[in-house]
Amino acid sequence: MVGYTLDSIISPGFRFYQPEQGYRVNIDTVILYDFAKRHVTGRVLEIGSASGSTCILLSKVAGVVDVTGVEINQVHHRASLKNLGLHSCGDRVAFIHGDINAYKTLFRPQSFHAIVTNPPFYRYGTGKISPREPIAASHHDRSLTLEALFAAARYLLRPDGVLIMLFTTRRIDEIFMNMRGFAIEQLRFVHRTAARPSDVFLMTARKGRGGRPSIIPPLIVHEGAGYSAEASAMLAATP
C-alpha cells in the first residue's frame, strides 16, 4: 500500500501530500516555480507535474488561472488530486495521468502559451540507477528524452509561446542541439554556494522567434549556514 506524507513546502501555509517513496519536492522545485511565475501567461502546461506543487503555486500565488499538469506516475498523480482538493483550486488547475510522449492524443496542437518543466537529468543507462523505480524514473530519461520533450513543446506551444525549464548544467550542450524552432531568451545559472560551479540552470526559450539570449545574474542558493536572501524570499511565499 502506498503511503503519503503531508509536508510544508515554502511557507507553512502551503502543505502538500507526497508519496513516501519516489520524487519529493526540494529547493529546485521552488526555484523553478519562482522563475516560471515571471514568464508564464495564458494557458500553462507543466510536463512532469509530480505531486502538483508547481501548478498549485502558480495558481495560488502567481494568479495563473488556467494550469494543467501531466504526470506519468500514477502514485504522484493521485497525490496531485489530493493536493487539488486540499488547496481548493480545481476551477483553475487540472491534473492528467498520462504519458507526454502521446501528446498528440492528449492535447490539440498549439494548446498552450507556456510550458514549465524539470525533466529527468540523466540519460538512461548512464550513472547509478536507483533500484526504486519511482526514483529511477524521476532521475533518468527512460520515459522522457530531451528530444521527445522538445518535439512535444513544438507541437503544444502556440506561436511565440515560451518553454521554461530547469535542467542540469552537465547537459546544456544537448539543450542547444535540440533548440530547432526555439530561440533562447534567458539563461540563469544556479550555484549551491558562490564558491561552487553551477549544477543546474534556468532557461526560457521562445517558439519561432529569434533574438539575442540574455544571461542574467546567477542565483546563489546558500550563504553561510543557511539560505541566501533571495532563496529565503522564495521560500516565504504565502497563500
In a domain, 127, yes or no: yes
In a domain, 135, yes or no: yes
Nearest-angstrom CA–CA distance, 148 and 6? 33
Question: Going along 172-231, which residue ranges are E strands?
Answer: 182-191, 200-207, 214-215, 219-220, 222-223, 226-227
> Looking at the predicted structure, is the pLDDT value of residue 135 above 50?
no
CB 29 within 8 Å of CB 53: yes
In a domain, 58, yes or no: yes
In a domain, 74, yes or no: yes
How confident is the model over 127-153, as a mean pLDDT? 66
Question: What Rg, from alpha-carbon coordinates, does the chain have?
Answer: 17
CB 93 within 8 Å of CB 67: yes
> Looking at the predicted structure, is the pLDDT value of residue 176 above 80?
yes
In a domain, 120, yes or no: yes
> Looking at the predicted structure, is the pLDDT value of residue 133 above 60?
no
Could you tell me which of 97, 89, 86 has the C-alpha nearest to residue 17? 86
How confident is the model over 172-201, as a mean pLDDT? 96
Q: Greater confidence, 35 or 25?
A: 35
> Looking at the predicted structure, is the pLDDT value of residue 148 above 90?
yes
Q: Greater confidence, 82 or 238?
A: 82
How confident is the model over 18-33, as a mean pLDDT? 88
Domain holding 104, by residue range, is: 4-234
Q: Greater confidence, 43 or 8?
A: 43
Nearest-angstrom CA–CA distance, 16 and 209? 37
In a domain, 239, yes or no: no
Structural domains counted in the chain: 1
Can you tell me which residue has the cell 502538483?
52
> Looking at the predicted structure, is the pLDDT value of residue 88 above 50?
yes
In a domain, 208, yes or no: yes
In a domain, 64, yes or no: yes
Q: Greater confidence, 158 or 239?
A: 158
Nearest-angstrom CA–CA distance, 66 and 56? 11
We report the CATH number of the domain holding residue 98 as 3.40.50.150
